Structure 1
């Protein structure tokens, strides 16, 4: 018996991994985060399976269902949205299972920031502009943030920021990041990425607050901030430069540069 923590992806049922879908299709117990996981995904569970929405349940109740399944020798598909490694409240479940000596495995899923970039048709790491992506959030009701991870500190990096669970904190985001990125820095608020009603609000640190207010978005949104978003004026990367040689290709200027070869 194994509990499988499955990342269902951002919303579109066909963005779940093949591995995750096959596990849902065979597990006799399916526990899913109903507010964020599409019904079409859990509809793939066997007809005789126990399928339960955990949104109204607390941690002890969820773990108890896993314990009962363990006693029966029944595998559990524990289905979370996005990828289980990011803001999924998965670690606390794993800790409980370790104490109970119940085996578990993790099946990765498509994270919201990646799905948002794909839908926007953009790359979040642009040569000469930003080569780092920081996944973060701001303090809300659920839990506080470590002081060393405040936006003012992270903003000094100039990296592309993917800010989760924070659409109600846009005034703070504007206040903390404007000194580092400038008021005209591009911002995209991605609402319910991958769902039929997905919406993208484009703006800048100076005007995104008003645009989000007008759209009446108060939850289920990811905020992307940084000059890499939609950038057009940048140099091509060296990877496909005709003059650039690496272990798999000899450039037009001749032999492979050993130092550069090691970088590839």
Structure 2
């Protein structure tokens, strides 16, 4: 059996209980060594075989899983954050299906959630943005043309941008070209939830300059949007005049001002 496990955004104690139990039970652990906190491996059994996939090809990863399955061993494939985002798990799953190797996915806490916590931010503030766009700049992995930074920027919704910290001047220019105003609130979150976490607030027009001044070149999320500001509307759900399934709202006195 192969378990794809989300390791969480970085902090050792932000893995799920289920994920930790799987690590403790595993015969084989293949972890994304460039991003997963190695402290999580301290919970492996002494006889567990540990492989760093940073030094492996896809073929080697699958062969290791297949060999373990032939020995009736359990494999944990440990991915950073939640494996559904930029985890490259689909190709692994399809190869496991071809080999009739059973698998399950254990979700994890994504780094975009860790970044929100570091920013004390709510990505979906009433009256400001009710949508979150999670995307990346194209690099060696292409991005469909219809999903360009400019196309998404036109919505001026909250945007969380992965895997782009090394291209911030181009990112900044394309966000501005897409429609975000120069003074749009922005933030750079370096290694969210790790001990070395760093948070930098700035305006969009200062994004690349801020990263350069802070010497941030990789392992950072970029957050764009006015949800990082102080202007928003209160939720209707908790308004005393709002009726829900569980409580009746108070009627406003017609003679009172709104």
- Cα shift at 1:169: 1.8
- Cα shift at 1:41: 0.7
1:260 aligned residue: none
Secondary structure, in 3 states, of the residue corresponding to 1:207?
Answer: helix
Secondary structure, in 3 states, of the residue corresponding to 1:181?
Answer: coil
Matches within 5 A, 1:89-238: 89-141=88-140, 143-179=141-177, 180-229=179-228, 231-238=229-236
Distance in 2 of aligned mates of 1:204 and 1:56:
38
Verify: 1:24 aligned to 2:23, yes or no. Answer: yes
Gaps in structure 2 of 5+ consecutive residues: 253-258
- Cα shift at 1:158: 1.4
Distance in 1 of aligned mates of 2:129 and 2:137:
22
- Cα shift at 1:253: 2.2
2:11 aligned residue: 12
- Cα shift at 1:175: 1.4
2:63 aligned residue: 64
Count matched residues.
Answer: 251
Distance in 2 of aligned mates of 1:243 and 1:101:
57
Query: TM-score normalised to the size of structure 1?
Result: 0.93
**Structure 1: 4+ residue segments shifted above 4 A:** none
Query: In the alignment, is the contact (CA less than 8 A) between 2:169 and 2:207 conserved in 1?
Result: no
Matches within 5 A, 1:235-250: 235-250=233-248
1:77 aligned residue: 76
Query: TM-score normalised to the size of structure 2?
Result: 0.95
Distance in 2 of aligned mates of 1:129 and 1:6:
34
